[in-house]
Structure 1
Amino acid sequence: MRARFPPSAYGPSVIWWHAVLIALAGVWAGTINTVVGSGTLVTFPVLVAFGYSPVTATTSNAIGLAPGTISGAIGYRHELRGEFRRLLAFVPASMLGAVCGTILLLSLPPDAFERVVPVLVGLAVVLVIIQPKVSRWVLARRAVKVEANGGKEGSGRSTQVLLITAVFVIGIYGGYFTAAQGVMLMAVMGMLLNESIQRLNGIKNVLAAVVNVVAGTVYAFVAPVSWPVVALLAGGSVVGGYLGARIGRKLSPTVLRGVIVVVGVAAIIQLVLRQL
């Protein structure tokens, strides 16, 4: 399928100061992905600004940020104790969704992706902005549910089916365009699971890593990828994932969220101007 993409789709040569900024963006994205999600909204605009097509920026991001999501998931291993059975149900849904998302990206014309990507970035930015309100609503809803159950927590079979379906759909989105899949996962799991926010964050990191690894593996063989960019992002994101797991609880979520929103809005403006 590589023949579908012209040589220019693979991006320009990487000059030294571009390399430095891409690596730093990878560190920041790895940190954000582990703590909040939406690290792609940092690296994606950087790559587009340096002349990479939106498709190449997306595929290179998926591969390059995968090691960072893995290191972040490993960093949350203590919070994941006792979650093996739940992950056994969720991981296949994420894998299948990621495959479907990559098929969409590779089947649709590249210009179709360029037209829809500003909308996807906008959706990601909105999700990042409303996440605090969603989290507060989730906590209030959970308290009401526990009180209605006589102080007991639990989730039935219908909730499990709904969760697996949601994880699958988010996997499709993540395979097609990775930005904010972590925010989506946190919102859905927070509404439907009776777990602490740190446990949910650990599960989110595992599922995001699965989607990135599956999508990245497919893209590596059949899509335009800039391997120098992948190497820079991979190195940076591993460091960022480690930092996010180590000091994530000490970072201000408001500051992280503000950076994501500013970068995301800048990306939307740039992408729209490219189409004019």
Structure 2
Amino acid sequence: MSPLDLVVVAGVAMAAGLINSIAGGGSLILFPTLVALGLGTVAANVTNSVAQWPGYLGGIAGFRGEYGGQRGRLVRFGIVAVLGGTTGSVLLLTTPSEAFDVVVPVLVLAASLLLAVQPLLTRRLKRDEADGARPDPAWLYLALFLATVYGGYFGGALGVILVGVLGVGLHRLKLANALKSALSAITASVTLVVFGIFGPIDWLVVAVAAPASLIGGFLGARVATRIPVRPLRIFIVAFGVAVSIYLFLRI
């Protein structure tokens, strides 16, 4: 990439980190940018995954107060996330890139639509929220495994999926949001290792995008309460739908 391309990557990565902190869906901005700058879809996907990893660590730090008394649950769910993230990452690297080219427009469109309905899901979960301890339902582990397989394979709007699954399974939205950050970070860490060893990563892009994403995430956390989320969400969803249409036409 040219120096100008790297400047564009840094700017978009910072915006993606900010968007992730405020509304979620930053991957839907950075991934198509990398494709537009000449990376193949698989290379853009793995580079995007690695570049945004630092931002997930900030999410864990922000929710550290919510993890009290959750050590056992974090260990159990974390093991599931490791298995799911590994499975998704291996699937991405071992299936033909042509298959990913066919699937990715569907994934981008699905992620965009999930982001669109996230407020409805959040309101529903708040109404259903209950206090008190209860055993984790068995189906929750299977749902988390499938969600983290998706996270290892593509990952766009993974946080939305995890909040939905955990919110329904645990009936505690605040805890679900905190666990979402931890499981997203675990899944991203798995992809970092797998893709770092075996994936077609553009490390120059990562070197520029990763710190920019971290800065954007920090700034987003600072201004999250001052920026209206709804217009930003509408923009991201519209952009994601437009990207999916473009990718459909490329097949």
Query: TM-score of the superposition, structure 1-length normalised?
Result: 0.84
Query: Moved runs in structure 1, 4+ residues, more than 4 A?
Result: none
Q: Does 1:212 align with 2:188?
A: yes
Gaps of 5+ in 2: none
Equivalent pair of 1:75/1:246 in contact (CA under 8 Å): no
Does residue 67 (structure 1) correspond to residue 47 (structure 2)? The answer is: no
Partner of 1:4: none
Q: Which residue of 1 aligns with 2:134?
A: 155
1:131 maps to 118
Q: Distance in 2 between matches of 1:251 and 1:208?
A: 24
1:141-220 paired onto structure 2 within 5 Å: 141-142=128-129, 146=130, 153-157=132-136, 159=137, 161-197=138-174, 199-220=175-196
Letter in 1 for 2:167: G
> Residues of 2 paired with 1:53 and 1:184: CA distance?
26
Return the offset for 1:54: 0.8
- 1:241 is matched with which residue: 183, 198, 217? 217
Q: Read off the aligned partner of 1:61 and give its amino acid letter.
A: N
Paired position in structure 2 for 1:95 = 82
Give 1:53 shift.
0.9
* Unmatched runs of 5 consecutive residues or more in structure 1: 1-13, 147-151
CA distance in 2, matches of 1:163, 1:243: 33
In structure 1, the residue matched to 2:232 is 256
* TM-score computed with the length of structure 2 as normaliser: 0.92
* Offset of residue 177 of structure 1: 0.3
> Whole-Å Cα distance in 2 between the matches of residues 173 and 180 of structure 1?
10
Deviation at 1:132, TM superposition (A): 1.2
Task: Tell whether the 8 Å contact from 2:163 to 2:173 is kept in structure 1 after alignment.
Answer: no
- Residue 196 of structure 1, CA deviation: 4.3
Contact 2:125 2:173 in 1 (8 A): no
Identity %: 37
**How far apart are the structure 2 equivalents of 1:249 and 1:77?**
19
Pair 1:34–1:216, CA change in 2 (3 A): same
| Code of the aligned partner of 2:97 | P
Displacement of 1:129 in angstroms is 0.8
Contact 1:97 1:168 in 2 (8 A): yes
- What's the CA shift for 1:123? 0.6
CA spacing shift, 1:181–1:100, aligned 2, 3 Å: same
8 Å Cα contact 2:126-2:173 kept in structure 1 = no
Q: Is the 8 A contact 2:128 2:171 kept in 1?
A: no
How far residue 69 of structure 1 moved from its aligned partner, in angstroms, is: 1.2
Q: Which moved more, 1:265-274 or 1:114-123?
A: 265-274
* Count of residue correspondences: 251
Take 2:221 and 2:140, find their aligned partners in 1: how far apart are those partners?
25
Query: Computing the radius of gyration over CA atoms, which structure comes out larger, 1 or 2?
Result: 1
Match in the other structure for 1:224: 200
Whether 1:84 and 2:74 are equivalent positions in the alignment is: no
Aligned to 2:15: 28
What is the deviation of 1:33? 2.5
User: 1:6 matched to which residue of 2?
Assistant: none
Match of 1:43 in 2: 30
Instruction: Find the counterpart in structure 2 of residue 9 from structure 1.
Output: none
C-alpha distance after superposition, 1:187-225 (max 9, x if no partner)? 11122223343x432221111111111112111111211
1:168 to partner: Cα distance: 1.3
Structure 1 40/84 Cα, relative in aligned 2: closer, same or farther at 3 Å? same
